Chains A and B, each alone.
Chain A
Amino acid sequence: MMRPVVNKSPMPGFGLGMGITLTLLSLVVLLPIAALLVKGAGLGLAGLWAVASGERVVASLALSFRLSLIAALFNLVFGVLLAWVLSRYRFPGRRLLDAAVDLPFALPTAVAGIALTALYAPNGVFGSLAKTFGARIAYTEWGILIALIFVGLPFVTRTVQPVVEEIEREVEEASATLGASRLYTLRRVIMPMLAPAALTGFALALARSVGEYGSVIFIAGNIPMKTEIAPLLIVIRLEEFDYNGAAAIGIAMLTISFTLLLAINAVQVWTRRRIGYV
């Protein structure tokens, strides 16, 4: 027998709640996204490809996704370490540090952008330090990478932290009693338990970095073909009233993002199947 669309319930407010939910969801999110897809459909696959395979577009997409992947990988490793330190160790200032991890969520991206630029520009505190070693950070890929690491910092920590707190010490003790070294226990017992949550955080950080605009454009220098990220190219196309070009880049970004997220999701399912739910 088919499941009914809505199970009967004495609880009131289904119509009103669903009404508000679907109306706002459609008006604010779904209709605008549909407008983008309709525009893309109007261009056709050939038209989309013609724009998206342009030299400057490919360069910006490659830059955005390559640097976002590196930043998310850094945040994956550092985020797990941070989650571990914050929930396992007791040291003065731990609460402050714990609260500060969310700063990138709370600090507006434009503020982060100009602050990072002030620090890493050749006359800034860190920038001048780098200059003595003959290196440049702001207005190069390194600057973009730092901005992307900044915005993606909290995700892995925040998804992994609750899991670390749930781990029962007995499991680690059992492993130690059976002769495993601490490193072996971390690698074979702890890491598999943290992996699914860490991957979720990785995916969130990646999605956030790929689309990031505010914190990057100030520090990037925005040189076409070199330090021009894909979201900036969309803005440039819009300012030129090239709506087709902007839409094609937007669709390319969405397509690559969702493919990556699906792939990460598949890895997650695979790890869960291998180690079971924890």
Chain B
Amino acid sequence: MSDVSFTRSEVRPAYRKAADETPLVKAVLVLLVVAVLAVLLFAPLLAVFAEALADGLGASLAALSQPEARSAIWLTLAVTGVAVPMNAIFGIAAAWTITKFDFRGKALLLTLIDLPFSVSPVVAGLCLVLLLGANSSLGGWLVASGVPVIFALPGIILATMFVTFPFVARELVPVMIEQGKAEEEAALTLGAGGWRVFRTVTLPNIRWALLYGVLLCNARAMGEFGAVAVVSGKIRGETATMPITIEMMYNEYLSVAAFSMAALLALLALVTLVLKSLLEWRYADQLSASARH
């Protein structure tokens, strides 16, 4: 035995080889990963832009300036303009309550916040229809009082909020646990009031994590399809968001129009990814562990 190890040390293989794959294995694995991602991720992305520009940039811009397309863009902006800030407020409130206090049922609360991740968006929409649709007692009353929720803007906002509900809270909770509450307690001892502590101590500490959560929440909110499809009723020019309009145009074989709007959302996705990577790269220490890589 000692003989073998002696010869080995004489041959002296490159340092660290023992805990590393050979260059050939590495090259094969890298190529494999690149090939699979090229087919699965990059090809669809390219396809969106290729199809959108099939008749030239002019045609696709013209398609986007149609009244139907413009009202869809405005509706999507309006929905996210309400849903995302609401979920940000929820996320901050939930993270503050969960990380700064000790109370019974905390684990249950965390589970309930995560619940929308394991519920299908279509089932989420179904739940809202059953609760607030015109043939439920609550929904019937709402329609009678002139505020229909289902097949109207409030329903779309609620559906969007449901599917994006955990995003901000999930990002903030781990960050705020890690930061602890010593700084806030110090500020309190020095006589600062609650709001002042939050504004001047907590908020600066969590701002990048908050932005990160809002970014992901926004991307999902603008693109949500399943839940919105169920509650929107797909009324042209009224309750058709951008993804719903894509579906309607696609089913009418308006390929350029559908893919032009899809390209707009794909651009949004790319901007989201760039900003997300910048945040991860620049402020890694201020994001939750799952966001650092």
Contacts and interface: CB of A to CB of B under 8 A. Distances in A.
A108 B103 contact: no
Nearest to A3: B104
A100 B41 contact: yes
B269 A103 contact: yes
A84 B293 CA distance: 12
B121 A247 contact: no
B262 interface: yes
Contacts of B44: 107, 112, 115-116, 119, 150
A247 B45 CA distance: 35
Given A12-B193, A110-B247, A114-B262, A213 B126 contact: no
A109 B126 contact: no
Given A106-B272, A159-B290, A149 B123 contact: no
Contacts of B222: 108
Given A5-B104, A99-B274, A213-B229, A29 B162 contact: yes
Contacts of B207: none
Contacts of A176: 18-19
Contact of B136 (A35, A81, A91, A261): A35
Contacts of A39: 130
A210 B122 CA distance: 11
Which of A12, A85, A185 has the largest number of chain B CB atoms within 10 A?
A12
Given A28-B162, A111-B223, A214-B225, A246 B126 contact: yes
Contacts of A149: 40
Nearest to B89: A20
B131 A35 contact: yes
A108 B223 contact: yes
B250 A213 contact: no
B140 interface: no
Contact of B226 (A32, A35, A185, A214): A214
B262 A110 contact: yes
Nearest to A14: B101
Given A12-B193, A176-B19, A211 B122 contact: yes
B19 A12 contact: no
B117 A207 contact: yes
Contact of A36 (B29, B127, B292): B127
Contacts of B293: 86-87, 98, 158, 161-162, 165
Nearest to B1: A179
A17 B93 contact: yes
Given A29-B165, A32-B131, A235-B230, A20 B90 contact: yes
A32 B102 contact: no
A115 B261 CA distance: 12
A273 interface: no
A253 B262 CA distance: 30
A4 B102 CA distance: 9
B118 A257 contact: yes
B175 interface: no
Interface string B127-146: 11111110110000000000
Nearest to B102: A7
User: 9 nearest interchain CB pairs?
Assistant: A108-B223, A211-B120, A12-B194, A176-B18, A214-B225, A32-B127, A213-B226, A35-B131, A17-B97
Given A108-B269, A173-B16, A238-B126, 8 more contacts: A18-B97, A21-B90, A29-B165, A99-B273, A108-B262, A112-B44, A172-B19, A257-B118
10 contacts: A21-B90, A32-B130, A93-B34, A106-B272, A109-B226, A111-B265, A125-B43, A149-B40, A162-B289, A235-B230
